[in-house]
Amino acid sequence: MNYILKDENAVYHECGFSCESEIFLKFGSESYFLTDARYLTEAKEFIKNAEVVLMDRRDPFKVARALIRKSGIKSLVYNPLEWSVNEFESLNSKLLMNFKQHINFSQKKRIIKSEDELQILRKAAKLGANAFDSFAKFIQKEGLGLSEKRAFHEAQNIFKNFGELELSFEPIVALDENAAKPHALPSDKILQKDMLLLLDAGVKYKRYCSDRTRTVNISKNISMDKNSIFKDAKKQKIYDTVLRAQEASIKKAKVGVGASDIDKAGREVIEKAGYGKYFIHSTGHGVGLDIHELPVIGARSHDVIEENMVFTIEPGIYLPNEFGVRIEDTVIAKSNGVEVIG
Amino acid sequence: MNYILKDENAVYHECGFSCESEIFLKFGSESYFLTDARYLTEAKEFIKNAEVVLMDRRDPFKVARALIRKSGIKSLVYNPLEWSVNEFESLNSKLLMNFKQHINFSQKKRIIKSEDELQILRKAAKLGANAFDSFAKFIQKEGLGLSEKRAFHEAQNIFKNFGELELSFEPIVALDENAAKPHALPSDKILQKDMLLLLDAGVKYKRYCSDRTRTVNISKNISMDKNSIFKDAKKQKIYDTVLRAQEASIKKAKVGVGASDIDKAGREVIEKAGYGKYFIHSTGHGVGLDIHELPVIGARSHDVIEENMVFTIEPGIYLPNEFGVRIEDTVIAKSNGVEVIG
């Protein structure tokens, strides 16, 4: 397959380097990494398996067009999600080329992780889990009376380890009814004893993402090990239901199982408890260089689990204007089950 | 003009609301804001001048296509930079519509700011300037011995005002030779006395951006008022040259002047001092909802300054492997000159 890539993570996966200005070309066994003068020296230093070529920032696709023409290839695969209409027209202008669309073909190539990638993902998960514990300590000590906004800010600091790590995504820090909104922005709501707190956060280690969610009761004794104890009986009931759902999905997950069956196993637990209509999203998603990769763990997914796929299992119940609960771990698929990495 | 928008700031400018899932349609005097179920309630609450319509997340362009068909319009303007090839094909499928490309037409509409926008931009600039002063105090007190990375992290905290504000962009905090790289990432380099420190940062207030750069000598007496005193004579000479260039461009800027003339005024100062080839970027850019808007203040710009355009003036000299200096303010164009807002 001959292809062209522009997405940073897709390019990084091909050649171990990326920057904010680049095009990657693959014609059979030939690989080219195109970048502008700002990044040329670094690219030449770090890229081993592709020829580094200078591009013109004023017409970033000019050199790519010339290389494509010179190669004599007849067709080229691209991801139509990666290119704006404007960029693609600029690439395509004056080229007599059969461009083939292949949505997310880089993510498809990356769906099974190598041993090296698994080691990095385990380390990312460990660093993420440590930050959950640090955040719990912070809330226990200094959390009461802070605003959700301020707690969000501290979560950023803690997950960034004061500048040493990058975030996989902006953390979600949500109290009670805000936890019922999957996309709540942090508010001025004040953290008080026995409120429910949902924390969804992750870090990047060597560019690979961690992803985890915990829902806890605010108290002097917050545990991030999923044994949350709530003062309110309804919260406890919902929490226990979500936890049983997550356990059912985790138990179901192994090599050869359909991703939709993993979703079904947890969803049935929630449906039987009478909360099916409040589980408003899929069970999980692949994790790697991108925070959302393949496979899709959902009711309509046709993905079948293979060894060393890495994905989240994160059922939730969201009761509007009351509260929401989500419990999420990232797992590695193995023949006899999954390895929960955090 | 009939048009379709998808960019959050472009949509916000039309109707005072935006979220991460939206399409805005304008057919003559009719306006539609399409969003999915997650944002419907908020959209209905905040949008006054557009009809809020529910979209289907599984096929986000279905309702848009139906509205376009129903409207009977013959042509529709879109920004080819806003749409991926995939999204545009999905919008366009089965529609017999004359789509007209108009690059950045929303930014063109927004190039002259209203009095309300100017008030917000002044306030954003003020908050940004206050954060510069806070950062100076922090460096004076606690800066020596910290890494660039840690100083970058503290800059983020200070500019975010510990969670109260958003950043216009990730701050640039760069020492000596790192300040010579316009896109330097923060390193482990340690802040020491009499090093040169470049800080380029801004905040958002009511979604509008501030943007400012200062270059200072690390000492017990850091001033953000542009009167930087360097221990090293070469640094002082380059600094004074950049400052004179900025003053020349600021003096030139007023209603009726070509943006390229503003660039030329400062560039000539730097060229005469013998550093022309080290001023490797344009003089400035518009600022508003986006951190980079119109007009372009550069040698090849055809923009002519009009009253209440808002833009930066930020000449710089970058000596590779030595150091870099940039001084930047944001200004509002008036008939007799500019109002420097920060």
Judged by average pLDDT, the poorest of A59-63, A290-294, B132-136, B266-270 is: A59-63
Q: What average pLDDT does this structure show over B57-82?
A: 93
- A61 vs B: CB within 8 A: no
Which residues on neighbouring strands pair with residue B215, listed in sequence order? B198
- Facing residue for B85 by CB, picked from A38, A85, A163: A85
Cα separation of A94 and A206, whole Å? 39
Q: Residues 6 or more apart from A108 whose CB is under 8 A from it?
A: A294
More confident position, B315 or B164: B315
- A102 vs B: CB within 8 A: no
- Facing residue for A162 by CB, picked from B84, B153, B160: B153
- A188 vs B: CB within 8 A: no
What pLDDT score was predicted for residue B96? 76
DSSP sequence for B223-248: -SSS----SSHHHHHHHHHHHHHHHH
* Buried-state track A31-46, b at ≥16 Cβ within 10 A, e below 16: bbbbbbebbeeebeee
Interface contact B163-A182, CB threshold 8 A: no
Indicate the pairing of strand A293-297 with strand A284-286: antiparallel
Using an 8 Å Cβ cutoff, are B23 and B304 in contact? no
Cα separation of B39 and B51, whole Å? 14
> For residue B164, which residues of chain A lie inside 8 Å, CB to CB?
149
CA–CA distances in Å: residue B7 to residues A108, B110, B286? 28, 13, 17
* Buried-state track B32-46, b at ≥16 Cβ within 10 A, e below 16: bbbbbebbbeebeee
CATH hierarchy code of domain B3-109: 3.40.350.10
Interface test with A, best of B58, B82, B85, B207 (most A CBs within 10 A): B85
Has domain A115-340 been given CATH number 3.40.630.10? Answer: no
What pLDDT score was predicted for residue A145? 96
Using an 8 Å Cβ cutoff, are B245 and B226 in contact? no
Interface test with B, best of A58, A76, A82, A85 (most B CBs within 10 A): A85
Q: Is A163 left (phi over 0), alpha (psi -120 to 50) or beta?
A: left
> For residue B101, which residues of chain A lie inside 8 Å, CB to CB?
85-86
* Buried-state track B311-335, b at ≥16 Cβ within 10 A, e below 16: bbbbbbbbbeebbbbbbbbbbbbee
Cα separation of A122 and A209, whole Å? 10
Q: Residues 6 or more apart from A66 whose CB is under 8 A from it?
A: none
H or E stretch including A264?
helix A259-272
What pLDDT score was predicted for residue A334? 98
Q: What ipTM was estimated for this complex?
A: 0.86
What pLDDT score was predicted for residue B106? 96
Q: Where are the alpha helices (DSSP H) in chain B?
A: 8-15, 40-46, 62-71, 85-92, 105-109, 115-138, 148-159, 233-252, 259-272
- A298 vs B: CB within 8 A: no
pLDDT above 70 covers a percentage of chain B that reads 99
Cα separation of A283 and B81, whole Å? 33
Using an 8 Å Cβ cutoff, are A297 and A263 in contact? yes
What pLDDT score was predicted for residue B183? 67
Interface contact B149-A164, CB threshold 8 A: yes
The candidate with the shortest Cα–Cα distance to B315, out of B257, B276, B274, B272, is B276
Each residue's pLDDT, cut to its tens digit, for chain A (342 residues) gives 999 999 999 999 999 999 989 999 999 999 999 998 878 888 998 998 999 999 988 888 999 999 999 999 999 999 999 999 999 999 998 787 899 999 999 999 999 999 999 999 999 999 999 999 999 999 999 999 999 999 999 999 999 987 889 999 999 999 999 999 866 778 999 999 999 999 999 999 999 999 999 999 999 889 899 999 999 999 999 999 999 999 999 999 999 999 999 999 999 999 999 999 999 899 999 999 999 999 999 999 999 999 999 999 999 999 999 999 999 999 999 999 999 998
pLDDT digits 0-9 by tens, B191-246: 999 999 999 999 999 999 999 999 999 998 898 999 999 999 999 999 999 999 99
H or E stretch including B35?
strand B30-35
- B188 vs A: CB within 8 A: no
> For residue B36, which residues of chain A lie inside 8 Å, CB to CB?
none
Determine how many CB atoms are found less than 10 A away from the CB of residue B223. Answer: 14
Q: Which residue has the tokens 């041993």?
A: A115
Is the fold of A3-109 the same as that of A115-340? no
Q: Computed over its alpha carbons, how large is the radius of gyration of chain B?
A: 23
**Burial class of residue B244 in the structure, from the number of CB atoms within 10 Å of its CB (0-12 exposed, 13-18 middle, 19+ buried):** middle
Cα separation of A229 and A217, whole Å? 6
To the nearest 5 percent, what fractions of chain A are helix, strand and coil?
35, 25, 40
Q: Tell me how far the alpha carbon of residue A296 is from its chain's centroid.
A: 11
Domain ranges of chain A: 3-109, 115-340
| Predicted TM-score (pTM) of this structure | 0.89
What pLDDT score was predicted for residue B297? 98
Cα separation of A333 and A311, whole Å? 8
Cα separation of A178 and A188, whole Å? 11
Cα separation of A297 and A315, whole Å? 11
Q: Tell me how far the alpha carbon of residue A54 is from its chain's centroid.
A: 32
Indicate the pairing of strand A316-319 with strand A323-326: antiparallel
- For residue B1, give the amino acid letter: M
> For residue A186, which residues of chain B lie inside 8 Å, CB to CB?
163
Look at residue B34 and tell me whether its pLDDT is greater than 70.
Answer: yes
